[in-house]
Amino acid sequence: MQAEAGPLDRRVVITALGIAQILAWGTSFYFPAVFAGPIVADTGWPLGVVVGGTSIGLLVAGLISPQVGRIIDRHGGRPVLLASSLFYAAGLAGIAAAPALVIYLSAWVLLGIGMGTGLYDAVFAALGRLYGSEARTPITNLTLFGGFASTVCWPLSAFMIEHAGWRMACLAYAGLHLLVALPLQMAVIRRAPQPAAAHVSVDAEPAPTSGRVAHEGFIVALLALVLSLAAGIGSVVVVHLLIFLQARGVQLAVAVSLGTLFGPAQVGARVVERLLGSRYHPIWTMIGSCTLMAFGLLLLVGHFPLLILVIVLYGAGYGVSWIGRGTLPLALFGPQRFPRLMGKLAFPSLIVQALAPSAGALAVEASGADITIGALTLLALINVLLIGLLWAVCRPLLATDT
């Protein structure tokens, strides 16, 4: 069966999509970190509302994710990924031209459509449609690129804002989506054949490809809960990490230095998963992710003095959670149903991810950082129990992979 990408080498495909992912994450999820301050200083708009644009984007992405999954299932990833570049460009141009706060927030609706059609969940579904049961390694490789989004875009954004202003920086990013991301994705995602057939390879696990599996509704709901909790906890910690570290008596400058370890910890864990992942079922990736996140938070709530270890363990768990988010549904349910399932699973996860940072801010304000860290730790421990329950329910499916 001919693949969507034709004869292109997978390394070329993933490199092209990876560059687009760096740009997509850097101009949406990581956008406020550098842009919010200059926007507030220039316009006088409230900081919380400016940063809240990201939540609007994630909410929109979550709301459209089921339909995105259906489109990828029917037509392949090409129309969705190409549309993402156009919506990113339109949203960033809208932000650049926004004369009022309501226009700024409206532009985030366009960015949200770009996020829903162009971030991991949509691209994972497209890779499943493209490579079938062999998509595990491409998905893992793609997350290696995504892990460098803040590393690339934060200094680039700061440079452009300093020399041209935040509005011109937004326009420059809009141009990059049109002139770089769009052509790259157009070149490597060519046309949609019939869905790739499931077949066994060294980096894939056999899985059901048609029909319903036993307890499927419960498995999907449980998996959605696990992924949503991991995403929610992760987004709270990412946004409020410096506050949590300072609550442990660390000076701001030291907290910032420790925070820079978060990204490398994610990428390092993904490299390990890339090297060893073909040797075990993706459920163990998710089990390891939930365990590491819980253990890192336990050390933090317990005032463990070596905060570097806390950051590395938690960051590693959070980093591989994104791999498990794509590879576990593929292994459990097979490639033929994967795009639609990714859309369904992304819906609650993105909604939680959108709301969690604000909820975390309210918790810190009302109860303090210590109690908030304790609550997050409890949720992370509950997630360990939930992933253990998922493993127990899925054991008959896992047995077919041996």
Residue 389's CATH number: 1.20.1250.20
Do 164 and 263 lie in one domain? The reply is no
Alpha helices, H only, 147-205 = 149-164, 166-176, 182-188
Does residue 4 fall inside a structural domain? no
Do 127 and 229 lie in one domain? The reply is no
Cα(318)–Cα(320) distance, rounded to whole angstroms?
Answer: 6
CA atoms within 13 A on the CB side of 240: 25
Does residue 5 fall inside a structural domain? no
Q: What are the tokens at 391? A: 């493993």
Do 90 and 152 lie in one domain? The reply is yes
| DSSP states of 215-251 | THHHHHHHHHHHHHHHHHHHHHHHHHHHHHHHTTT--
Do 19 and 127 lie in one domain? The reply is yes
Do 130 and 220 lie in one domain? The reply is no
In this prediction, residue 224 carries a pLDDT of 93
In this prediction, residue 197 carries a pLDDT of 45
Each residue's pLDDT expressed in tens, for the chain with a length of 402 residues? 344 444 578 889 999 999 999 999 999 988 887 898 899 999 999 888 888 898 899 999 999 999 998 999 888 889 999 999 999 999 999 999 999 999 999 999 999 999 999 998 899 989 988 888 788 889 988 988 888 887 788 889 989 999 999 999 999 999 999 999 999 999 988 765 554 444 434 344 444 444 566 677 888 999 999 999 999 998 888 878 878 888 888 887 787 778 778 878 888 888 898 888 788 888 999 999 999 999 999 998 888 888 889 899 999 999 899 888 888 888 888 888 888 888 888 889 889 988 888 888 888 888 888 899 999 999 999 999 999 999 998 887 665 554
Do 28 and 170 lie in one domain? The reply is yes
Residue 242 · residue 259 · CB < 8 Å: yes
Does residue 42 fall inside a structural domain? yes
Do 276 and 345 lie in one domain? The reply is yes
Cα(34)–Cα(18) distance, rounded to whole angstroms?
Answer: 22
Give residue 30's domain range.
Answer: 10-188
Does residue 334 fall inside a structural domain? yes
Does residue 28 fall inside a structural domain? yes
| Sign of CA pseudo-dihedral 189, 94, 175, 17 | negative
Does residue 127 fall inside a structural domain? yes
Our count of domains for the chain comes to: 2
